[in-house]
Amino acid sequence: MSRKPNRPLRPPLKKKSDAIEILDRDPRESRGGQRGEGAPRDEDAQPSRKDAHLNVDPRGPRTPRPPRPAGAQAPRRPRIEGDPVRHPEAHRSALGQPEGGERPARGRGQGQGQGGGQGGGRNPPTTLSEPERLQKVLAQAGVASRREIEEWVVAGRISVNGLPASLGQKIGPGDRVKVNGKLVPLRFTQRSPRVLIYHKPEGEIVSRDDPEGRPTVFERLPILRKGRWLAVGRLDFNTSGLLLFTNDGDLANKLMHPRYELEREYAVRILGELTEEQVKSLTDGIQLEDGPAKFNLLRDEGGEGANHWYRVTISEGRNREVRRMFEAVGLTVSRLMRVRYGSVELPARLKRGMWMEMPEAEACVLAGLPPPQQSRQQDLRDKRPVKLHRTQPR
């Protein structure tokens, strides 16, 4: 009697479906090196790599190219305007391109106002599209005032592109300007000027170089990285009071040129007292060595003996003009102090030898420029009291 096996009965085998048969195939069978030449290729087979779909050409399979003969150059591919894949600037059109051919601003990203890379900070640049006069560009760069630059041009000290410069010549961004043979880096941008208010004491000269070695007002000023400080007008060695400095030669020329007739106000202490005839002659006009001169306003401030004060205003700034006018009527000035220049008054808390920087918005108004666009944090900083500085002469 035969013994029954212990193995369980198996169900009858079923034929695999086509999809399961495709998945169970060895991937090496689909490669050309493993299968025979006549082996059919299954177009419905799944790819062996998970990221194989990234390498799929959306334009479909390509026909094989014929072999290129030795030494032959590859033919140029014709430019297809409507094909974004073959377009050489497809990446730019995808990212977007500014209108008018302008480049996007560099810096801290978009949405920072007109300053762009400046981050909305001080002096956001504004590009000048047209050429400007030589003396204006050099004055804005802080090289010198317009009047000094004109004298340098006449003396042949300035050249443009290797040729002597001429008065009224216009220059652009591509021109090379040299002063005394030294190349001047120019930026055709308009920036907010900087203005310093300085309380000059007696015993300082308004000059950079003094043969006698006396202290100068420039020794107390902060150092500029580019350009230099230009003094707006002058004060005598024994005269104190308000003195303005700026790094913009155009603004300095505007504040000093006689055609603008900016008023200067002085506090004058004289030895003695003026009579009515002397007051009339000083306000109507008096003849000096270099031409007629007069006070726009002469007001008595009181005092006795050698401590009698007057307030005077004048619309020009010739050398020692106020002192010479009082000397012409027989009086001596014992003390002279400038308290106002145009619309700028000497702050009461600014003591002798101290300086302060004018807020940017006020400097733009003084120069006749539109006020800068500032952020909220900068507006809060401008509302704070202006910091006063006292520096030791260098």
| Percentage of residues of the chain with pLDDT beyond 70 | 63
DSSP 388: P
The per-residue pLDDT for 95 is 37
Q: How confident is the model over 182-204, as a mean pLDDT?
A: 85
User: Which of 132, 130, 122, 126 has its CA nearest to residue 105?
Assistant: 126
* CATH class in words for 127-190: alpha beta
CA distance 36 to 32: 7
Which listed residue (24, 57, 209, 236) is catalytic?
236
CB 367 within 8 A of CB 248: yes
> Given the structure tokens 């060895």, which residue do they identify?
26
Q: Is 236 one of the annotated active-site residues of the chain?
A: yes
pLDDT in tens, 1-15: 556 566 656 655 555
pLDDT band at 261 (very low <50, low <70, confident <90, very high): confident
Picking from 180-184, 211-215, 267-271, 385-389, which range would have the lowest pLDDT averaged per residue? 385-389
Task: Tell me the domain boundaries of the chain.
Answer: 127-190, 195-258+347-390, 263-341
* CATH superfamily assigned to domain 263-341: Pseudouridine synthase (3.30.2350.10)
- At the topology level, CATH places domain 195-258+347-390 in Pseudouridine synthase (3.30.2350)
Instruction: Compare 30 and 126 and report the one with higher pLDDT.
Output: 30
pTM for the model: 0.55
Mean of pLDDT over the chain: 75
Q: Is residue 360 predicted with pLDDT exceeding 80? A: yes
Q: How confident is the model over 90-98, as a mean pLDDT?
A: 39
Distances 297 to 146, 280, 285, 294, 344 between C-alpha atoms, Å: 30, 11, 12, 9, 18
Residue 37 dihedral angles phi and psi, to the nearest 5°: -65, -35
The per-residue pLDDT for 106 is 44
The two domains 127-190 and 195-258+347-390 share their CATH topology (first three levels equal):
no
